[in-house]
C-alpha cells in the first residue's frame, strides 16, 4: 500500500506544472470554504447574539394565540399568577434553562404635556431581564456615560430614540403614559425618562422599556399577570433540543376548552433575521458545492489526461501480470493523493488565515455606536467534513479513468502510439 | 520436455470488412530452457506468435499450452495471474517505469504481483541486478541510463520473479549492434544461470546467429 502511494506521488510529480495548477485550484476551493464558513459563521453568531441577547431572547412563551395577534398587543391573552408559577416549576426542572424573565407588552399614549403619540412598551423585571438578555443595554443611552446597575427603577421609562427626538424629550424629562386596560378603561401614570433606546430591525425592535410593576399598575391588574416569558438556555447549540423538551412539557397544560394553554417559540420563528441566517447557511452550502465542482472537474481532468498519456505504461503493467484491481488502485491512489495534499495545504492556509483574521479583526457596525468585530472560527468537525468531501470527490472523479485503465487489454495498450 | 505447445493455431484480425490472417494453422513446440527466436519480415506474425504464447492475446482457432496449462481458455483475470506467476516480458522500447529507479523497476513485479517481503525482495533484486551487471546503476532513473543499460534492467525485471518463460519482442531493435549482441548474450547467460526458456523475435541477422533454435515465419505460416 505504501509503495502504491509512493508510485502515485512520483507520478503526480512527473507533471509538476499540471499537478501544481490542479492542486492550487483545489487548495483555493478548500480555502474559500474555510474562510467563508468562518466569516459567515462569525457574522451569523454575532447577529443572532445581538438579536437574542439584546431584546428578543432565545425563546419566548405566551398564552396560546398571542403571537398570531401580536401586532394588536392583546391584553386578554395573559398568563395569570397560577400559570406563571406552573411554568416556573417547568423551568426549574429543566437543567438546560439558565434564566427566564416575565414581560408585559403593551401599547400606550405617551405625552410630554404638549404633544402625544403612540408607543409600544416592553415592561420588564430589570434584574431578571438582564439575565435573559445580557446585552439589553447595548442600544440604550442614559444620562451619564455609565450604564446603571438596574436599567430602570419603578417610575422610570426608557423610550425609543426617534420618538424622543420627535417629541423633543430629553433624559430626565417627565412624561405621562396613558393606557387602556383589557376591560377598556383608561389609566394614566407619570414617569421620568431614564434613557433612550435605538430601534432594531424586527417585531420587538421599536419598543420602549418600563418596569413590570408599573405596567401592572397602569393596566390595573389586580393580580400580577404576564404576557410573555423570555428564556435563556445554558448552551445555545442545544436550542432545538430544549425547545422540543419544553414544547412537550407545555403540551400537558390545557385550557378550559381542552386545548394547549401555552405556545413556545424560538427566536427563529420570531425574528426576520432567521431568514438571513438561513441565507447565510445556503451561501455556505453553495460555497461547498462550488468546491465540490472544482475538485470533481480538476481531478477528473488531470486523471483522464494521466491515463491517456500513460496507455503504454498501463499496457506494460498489465502485461507483466499486474492485476486489474491493482492498476485501478494505482490511479485511485494518485487521485486520492492529489486531493489529500491539496486539502491539507488548503486546511493549513485556512487555519492560518482564520488566525490572522482574528488578529486583524474585521469591524462592522450594527446598532448604537457598536462596532462588532468578526472573529471567525472554524471547528475541527468542519475541517474534517471539508477534507472528507474533497477525498471522496477525488476518489469519485478518479473512478472512471482508473476503471478505464484497469480494463485496457495489454496487447492494445502496448501497441498504442 | 516441451514447455510450450502450440496446436494448429490461427489468429485472424477483423479490421472493418477486411480479414487479416496473422497466423495460420501453426503447430510447434518449444522445450524447457530453450533459447528460441522467431524471425521473418514485418507482418509475418512474429509479434502475434509472442502475444499468444505470452497470454496477451487469444487464438481464433487452436490450442496453446504452457506447461500443463491450456492458456487459450483463460479469462482476462486468469491470464493476468498466469503472466505474473509464469512469464517474463522484455519489450522493444524497454518500457521501464519512468518514475521508478532501476532498483524499483526490477523490484516492481515482486511488490505488485508477488507481494514478497522486503528482505526477500532486496535479496532477489540485488542478485539479479548483479547478474545483469547493473548493480552500480541501481539508483538511477531510466532517463539517466543508455539504451543498452535500460534493456539490461528490463531483462532483470523479467527474470526477478524466476519465470519459466521469458518473451522478448524485438528486444534489440532500439539498440546499436554492439549493445544488441551484448543484450542477447546476456539473455543467453541468464538462460544458462536460471534455466529459463527465452523466446524472442528479431529480424537482425547478427542477433539471429545467437539463437539456438530459429523458427521462420512468413505470411503467418511456419516455413
Q: Are residues A45 and A93 in the same domain?
A: no
Of B76, B98, B112, the CB nearest to A322: B112
Of A7, A317, A411, the CB nearest to B56: A411
| Cβ separation B84–A11 shorter than 8 A | no
Interface membership of B75 toward A (CB under 8 Å): no
Which domain-ending residue is among A228, A260, A292? A260
The domains of chain B, with CATH numbers, are 32-61+74-222 (3.40.50.300)
Q: Are residues A98 and A24 in the same domain?
A: no
Domain count, chain A: 2
**A&B contacts, CB < 8 Å:** 67
Q: What is the ipTM of this complex?
A: 0.87
Interface membership of B109 toward A (CB under 8 Å): yes
pLDDT tens digits for range A285-297: 998 898 888 888 8
Position A231 pLDDT exceeds 90: yes
How wide is the angle at C-alpha A352 spanned by C-alphas A349 and A354, nearest 5°? 110
Residue A368 has a pLDDT of: 52
Residue A267 included in any domain: no
Interface membership of B68 toward A (CB under 8 Å): no
* Residue to test with chain A: of B15, B54, B80, B113, most A Cβ within 10 A: B80
Residue B216, judged by CB atoms within 10 A of its CB (0-12, 13-18, 19+), counts as: middle
Q: Are residues A82 and A220 in the same domain?
A: yes
Of B76, B85, B89, the CB nearest to A319: B89
Residue A132 has a pLDDT of: 92
DSSP E strand stretches across A296-388 = 362-365, 371-374
Residue A350 has a pLDDT of: 93
Q: Are residues A22 and A148 in the same domain?
A: no
Percent of chain A past pLDDT 70, that is, above it, reads 96
Q: Are residues A39 and A6 in the same domain?
A: yes
Please tell me which residue, A51 or A352, carries the higher pLDDT value.
A352
How sure is the predictor about A204, in pLDDT bands with cuts at 50, 70 and 90? low
Residue A366 has a pLDDT of: 63
Of A319, A324, A414, the CB nearest to B83: A319
Q: Which residues constitute the domain of residue A337?
A: 2-50+275-414
DSSP string, A218-283: HTT-SS--BSEEEEEES-GGGHHHHHHHHHHHHTT-B-TTSSBSEEEEEHHHH-THHHHHHHHHHH
Min CA distance, B83 vs chain A (Å)? 5
Q: Are residues A255 and A356 in the same domain?
A: no
How sure is the predictor about A97, in pLDDT bands with cuts at 50, 70 and 90? very high
Residue A256 has a pLDDT of: 80
Chain A residues lying within 8 Å of B85, measured CB to CB = 321
Residue A335 included in any domain: yes
Sheet architecture: strand order including B221-222: B87-90, B165-169, B197-202, B35-39, B213-218, B221-222
Interface membership of B85 toward A (CB under 8 Å): yes
Q: Are residues A72 and A46 in the same domain?
A: no
Residues of chain B with pLDDT under 70: 1
Q: Which residue has the cell 515482486?
A: B110
Position A120 pLDDT exceeds 70: yes
Interface membership of B173 toward A (CB under 8 Å): no
| Cβ separation A313–B95 shorter than 8 A | yes
pLDDT tens digits for range A171-190: 899 999 999 888 888 889 99
Min CA distance, A48 vs chain B (Å)? 55
Position A367 pLDDT exceeds 70: no
Which domain-ending residue is among A260, A285, A309? A260
Residue A70 has a pLDDT of: 78
Q: Are residues A383 and A348 in the same domain?
A: yes
Amino acid at each position: 500500500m505504501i509503495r502504491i502511494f509512493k508510485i502515485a506521488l512520483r507520478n503526480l510529480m512527473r507533471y509538476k506544472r499540471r499537478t501544481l495548477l490542479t492542486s492550487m485550484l483545489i487548495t483555493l476551493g478548500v480555502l474559500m470554504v474555510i474562510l467563508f464558513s468562518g466569516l459567515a459563521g462569525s457574522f451569523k453568531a454575532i447577529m443572532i447574539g445581538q438579536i437574542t441577547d439584546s431584546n428578543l431572547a432565545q425563546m419566548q412563551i405566551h398564552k396560546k394565540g398571542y403571537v398570531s395577534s401580536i401586532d394588536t398587543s392583546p391584553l386578554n391573552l395573559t398568563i395569570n399568577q397560577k400559570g406563571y408559577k406552573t411554568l416556573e416549576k417547568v423551568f426549574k426542572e429543566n437543567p438546560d434553562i439558565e434564566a427566564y424573565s416575565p414581560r408585559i407588552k403593551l401599547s400606550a399614549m405617551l405625552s410630554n404635556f404638549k404633544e402625544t403619540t403612540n408607543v409600544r412598551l416592553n415592561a420588564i423585571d430589570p434584574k431578571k431581564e438582564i439575565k435573559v438578555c445580557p446585552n439589553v443595554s447595548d442600544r440604550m443611552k442614559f444620562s451619564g456615560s455609565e450604564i446603571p446597575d438596574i436599567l430602570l427603577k419603578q417610575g422610570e421609562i426608557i423610550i425609543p430614540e426617534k420618538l424622543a427626538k420627535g417629541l423633543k424629550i430629553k433624559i430626565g424629562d417627565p412624561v405621562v403614559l396613558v393606557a387602556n386596560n383589557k376591560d377598556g378603561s383608561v389609566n394614566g401614570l407619570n414617569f421620568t425618562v431614564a434613557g433612550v433606546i435605538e430601534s432594531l430591525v424586527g417585531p420587538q425592535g421599536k419598543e420602549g422599556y418600563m418596569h413590570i410593576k408599573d405596567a401592572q399598575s397602569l393596566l390595573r391588574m389586580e393580580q400580577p399577570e404576564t404576557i410573555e416569558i423570555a428564556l435563556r438556555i445554558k448552551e445555545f447549540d442545544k436550542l432545538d433540543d430544549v425547545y422540543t423538551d419544553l414544547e412537550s412539557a407545555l403540551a400537558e397544560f390545557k385550557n378550559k376548552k381542552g386545548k394547549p394553554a401555552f405556545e413556545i417559540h424560538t427566536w427563529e420563528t420570531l425574528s426576520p433575521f432567521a431568514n438571513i441566517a438561513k441565507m447565510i447557511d445556503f451561501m455556505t452550502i453553495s460555497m461547498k458545492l462550488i468546491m465540490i465542482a472544482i475538485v470533481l472537474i480538476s481531478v477528473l481532468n488531470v486523471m483522464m489526461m494521466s491515463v491517456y498519456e500513460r496507455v503504454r505504461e498501463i499496457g506494460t503493467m498489465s502485461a507483466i501480470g499486474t492485476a486489474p484491481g491493482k492498476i485501478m488502485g494505482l490511479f485511485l491512489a494518485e487521485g486520492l493523493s492529489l486531493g489529500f495534499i491539496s486539502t491539507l495545504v488548503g486546511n493549513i492556509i485556512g487555519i492560518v488565515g482564520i488566525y490572522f483574521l482574528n488578529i486583524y479583526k474585521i469591524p462592522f457596525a450594527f446598532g448604537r455606536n457598536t462596532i462588532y468585530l468578526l472573529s471567525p472560527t472554524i471547528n475541527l468537525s468542519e475541517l474534517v467534513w471539508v477534507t472528507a468531501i474533497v477525498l471522496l470527490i477525488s476518489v469519485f472523479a478518479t473512478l472512471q479513468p482508473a476503471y478505464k485503465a484497469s480494463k485496457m487489454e495489454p496487447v492494445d495498450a502496448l501497441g498504442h502510439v | 520436455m516441451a514447455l510450450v505447445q502450440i496446436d494448429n493455431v490461427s489468429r485472424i484480425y477483423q479490421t472493418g470488412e477486411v480479414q487479416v490472417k496473422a497466423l495460420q494453422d501453426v503447430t510447434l513446440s518449444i522445450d524447457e530452457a530453450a533459447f528460441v527466436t522467431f524471425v521473418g519480415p514485418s507482418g509475418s506474425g512474429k509479434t502475434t506468435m509472442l502475444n499468444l504464447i505470452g497470454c496477451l492475446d487469444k487464438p481464433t482457432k487452436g490450442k496453446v499450452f504452457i506447461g500443463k496449462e491450456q492458456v487459450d481458455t483463460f479469462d482476462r483475470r486468469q491470464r493476468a495471474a498466469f503472466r505474473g506467476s509464469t512469464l517474463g516480458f522484455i519489450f522493444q522500447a524497454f518500457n521501464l517505469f519512468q518514475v521508478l529507479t532501476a532498483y524499483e523497476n526490477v523490484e516492481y513485479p515482486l511488490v505488485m504481483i508477488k507481494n514478497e517481503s522486503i528482505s526477500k525482495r532486496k535479496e532477489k533484486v540485488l542478485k539479479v541486478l548483479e547478474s545483469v551487471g547493473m548493480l552500480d546503476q541501481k539508483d538511477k532513473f531510466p532517463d539517466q541510463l543508455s539504451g543498452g543499460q535500460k534493456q539490461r534492467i528490463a531483462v532483470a525485471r523479467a527474470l526477478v520473479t524466476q519465470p519459466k518463460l521469458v518473451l522478448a519482442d524485438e528486444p534489440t531493435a532500439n539498440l546499436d549492434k554492439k549493445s544488441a549482441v551484448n543484450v542477447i548474450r546476456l539473455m543467453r547467460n541468464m538462460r544458462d544461470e536460471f534455466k529459463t526458456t527465452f523466446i524472442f523475435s528479431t529480424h537482425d541477422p547478427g542477433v539471429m546467429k545467437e539463437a539456438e533454435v530459429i523458427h521462420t515465419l512468413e505470411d503467418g505460416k511456419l516455413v
